[in-house]
């Protein structure tokens, strides 16, 4: 073994340390904000569902009803899926309660040919694009009819025909993917627009910088949409960013930006529509911050009562996006109690039927463990599969995750 010789010479004397300049006092961490700044906030619907004179975008009745029905459907789907998780019928679920307007309103602003690159809470987009509820539940269960054959985390739907890109758990990655896909569309010469989503937490990720910068420099035909739901698991927005708003980050990159009340579906739809049209007409990207609130836990594995105040949640319940929009529809004579109860009954039946259909599907075949990666399954994988098959019926690891 070679030994490192001891130093025989003295190390040079260090230059006399300069007295360090007094450090600026670190700002005290702001308390989790119950009421985010209202700077530049676009709002059309008041808390009670009234639209100020001259501000009503006057959307056609079928569009208004579509927005409302989708919001109600996703809320019911969410409620039922959380129940299934609590009953052990699915392993995990990420709810969107409180964010229905931000999700539904922005997706509805696209044309069917446009692509969606979702973040954590836009599963409703796949269903709005035609993924059946049964297929969505197949994915949550990870059964044999799941397109991903149980290889993805629940809620990571994928729906190519609906131009819905499979979500990645790795926060922020989809931002640069969305920008890249929009560039691809432009190079191909079509007028597809890409809507890329992110949460407030993703604005601290490298991909946010890469995506925003690239989109700005190349004038990519995309809309980057941030659902600022005030929390990134247990980290409040006040510890995520020192900017007054997230929208203003667009300014630094040279991207036009907008800040919208994310619990106001009319405002979300209108702002996103304008941004989509801008992108489609070759005027480049827009960054949108939708100010909203995640009313439940980050996921079914989270307990938000451990890190946030219930009073904050209660304050946001009063800004409920579904109640607010229903009040608007009722005022316009487009909705009433009879329609509400008939529709809720219809949705409940639709979800019940979808659960029953999905639960009737068996698990993926064992063989699928080794398919889809190589054109020809390599020998060592064949061998491992044979070992797995040999365990079948012998009660080994039955029903338990073998860790």
Ligand X SMILES: Cc1ncc(C[n+]2csc(CCOP(=O)(O)OP(=O)(O)O)c2C)c(N)n1
Catalytic residues: 294, 298, 307
Interface pick for ligand X out of 85, 192, 220, 229 (rule CB under 6 A): 229
**Contact partner, 121, from ligand X, Mg ion, none, Cβ < 5-8 Å per class:** ligand X
Interface pick for ligand X out of 78, 100, 200, 312 (rule CB under 6 A): 200
Q: Does 101 bind ligand X (CB under 6 A)?
A: no
Span from 12-20, 199-207, 285-293, 308-316 in contact with ligand X (CB under 6 A)? 199-207
Q: How far is the CB of 101 from ligand X (least distance, A)?
A: 15
Cα distances (Å, whole numbers) of residue 163 to 45, 187, 193, 194: 30, 18, 11, 10
**CA separation for the pair 133, 146 (Å, rounded):** 12
Nearer to ligand X, 110 or 120 (CB): 120
**CA separation for the pair 196, 289 (Å, rounded):** 12
Phi, psi of 196 (to 5 degrees): -110, 125
Q: Does 210 bind ligand X (CB under 6 A)?
A: no
**CA separation for the pair 200, 225 (Å, rounded):** 10
| Contact by Cβ (8 Å): 105, 269 | yes
User: What percent helix, strand, coil does the chain show, rounded to 5?
Assistant: 40, 10, 50
Q: How far is the CB of 309 from Mg ion (least distance, A)?
A: 17
Q: How far is the CB of 203 from ligand X (least distance, A)?
A: 8
Span from 22-30, 107-115, 166-174, 281-289 in contact with ligand X (CB under 6 A)? 166-174
**Contact partner, 170, from ligand X, Mg ion, none, Cβ < 5-8 Å per class:** ligand X
**CA separation for the pair 210, 172 (Å, rounded):** 10
Interface pick for ligand X out of 259, 298, 324, 326 (rule CB under 6 A): 298
Nearer to ligand X, 77 or 328 (CB): 77
**Contact partner, 93, from Mg ion, ligand X, none, Cβ < 5-8 Å per class:** none
| Contact by Cβ (8 Å): 299, 82 | no
Total binding residues toward Mg ion, as defined by CB under 5 A: 4
**CA separation for the pair 130, 162 (Å, rounded):** 6
Q: Does 202 bind ligand X (CB under 6 A)?
A: yes
**CA separation for the pair 291, 308 (Å, rounded):** 18
Interface pick for Mg ion out of 116, 183, 212, 232 (rule CB under 5 A): 232
User: Which residue matches tokens 């939708």?
Assistant: 290
**Contact partner, 298, from Mg ion, ligand X, none, Cβ < 5-8 Å per class:** ligand X
- Cα dihedral across residues 160, 225, 168, 154: positive or negative: negative
**CA separation for the pair 302, 233 (Å, rounded):** 8
Nearer to ligand X, 64 or 296 (CB): 296
Q: How many CB atoms lie within 10 A of CB 326?
A: 20
Residue, CB closest to Mg ion: 199
For residue 272, the surrounding DSSP H or E stretch is: helix 265-280
Q: How far is the CB of 382 from ligand X (least distance, A)?
A: 33
Structure-token pair, residue 118? 């979702």
Q: Does 233 bind ligand X (CB under 6 A)?
A: yes
Q: How far is the CB of 330 from ligand X (least distance, A)?
A: 30
| Contact by Cβ (8 Å): 289, 226 | yes
Residues 335-364 that bind ligand X (CB under 6 A): none
Q: How far is the CB of 340 from Mg ion (least distance, A)?
A: 30
Residues 192-231 that bind Mg ion (CB under 5 A): 199-200, 229
Residue, CB closest to ligand X: 199
In total, the chain counts a number of residues equal to 403
Question: DSSP string covering 134-152, please?
Answer: HHHHHHHHT-TTSTTTT-S
Applying CB under 6 A, the residues found at the interface with ligand X are 120-121, 169-171, 199-202, 205, 227, 229, 231-233, 294, 298
Contact residues: Mg ion, CB under 5 A: 199-200, 229, 232
């Amino acid at each position: 073994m070679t030994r490192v010789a001891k130093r025989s010479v003295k190390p040079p004397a260090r230059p006399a340390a300069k007295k360090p300049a007094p450090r600026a006092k670190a700002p005290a961490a702001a308390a989790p904000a119950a009421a985010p700044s209202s700077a530049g906030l676009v709002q059309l619907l008041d808390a009670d569902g009234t639209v100020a004179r001259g501000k009503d975008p006057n959307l056609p009745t079928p569009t208004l009803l579509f927005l409302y029905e989708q919001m109600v459907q996703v809320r019911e789907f969410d409620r039922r899926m959380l129940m299934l998780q609590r009953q052990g019928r699915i392993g995990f679920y990420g709810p969107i309660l409180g964010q229905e307007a931000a999700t539904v309103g922005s997706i509805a602003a696209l044309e069917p040919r446009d692509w969606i690159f979702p973040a954590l809470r836009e599963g409703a987009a796949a269903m709005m694009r035609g993924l059946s509820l049964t297929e969505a539940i197949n994915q949550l269960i990870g059964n044999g009819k799941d397109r991903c054959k149980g290889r993805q985390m629940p809620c990571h739907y994928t729906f190519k025909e609906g131009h819905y890109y499979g979500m990645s758990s790795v926060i922020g990655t989809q931002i640069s993917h969305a920008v890249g896909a929009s560039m691809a569309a432009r190079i191909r010469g079509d007028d597809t627009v890409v809507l890329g989503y992110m949460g407030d937490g993703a604005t601290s990720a490298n991909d946010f910088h890469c995506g925003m910068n690239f989109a700005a420099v190349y004038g990519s035909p995309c809309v980057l949409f941030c659902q600022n739901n005030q929390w990134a698991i247990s980290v409040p927005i006040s510890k995520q960013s020192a900017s007054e708003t997230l929208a203003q980050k667009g300014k630094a990159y040279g991207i036009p930006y907008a800040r919208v009340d994310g619990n106001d579906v009319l405002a979300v739809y209108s702002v996103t529509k304008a941004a989509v049209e801008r992108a489609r007409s070759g005027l480049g990207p827009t960054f949108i911050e939708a100010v909203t609130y995640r009313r439940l836990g980050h996921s079914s594995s989270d307990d938000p009562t451990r890190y946030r105040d219930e009073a904050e949640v209660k304050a946001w319940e009063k800004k409920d996006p579904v109640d607010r929009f229903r009040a608007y529809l009722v005022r316009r004579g487009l909705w009433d109690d009879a329609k509400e109860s008939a529709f809720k009954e219809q949705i409940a039946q639709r979800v019940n039927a979808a659960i029953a259909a999905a639960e009737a599907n068996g698990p993926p075949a064992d063989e699928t463990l080794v398919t889809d990666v190589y054109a020809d399954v390599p020998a060592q994988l064949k061998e491992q599969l044979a070992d797995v098959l040999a365990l079948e019926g012998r009660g080994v690891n039955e029903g338990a995750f073998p860790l």
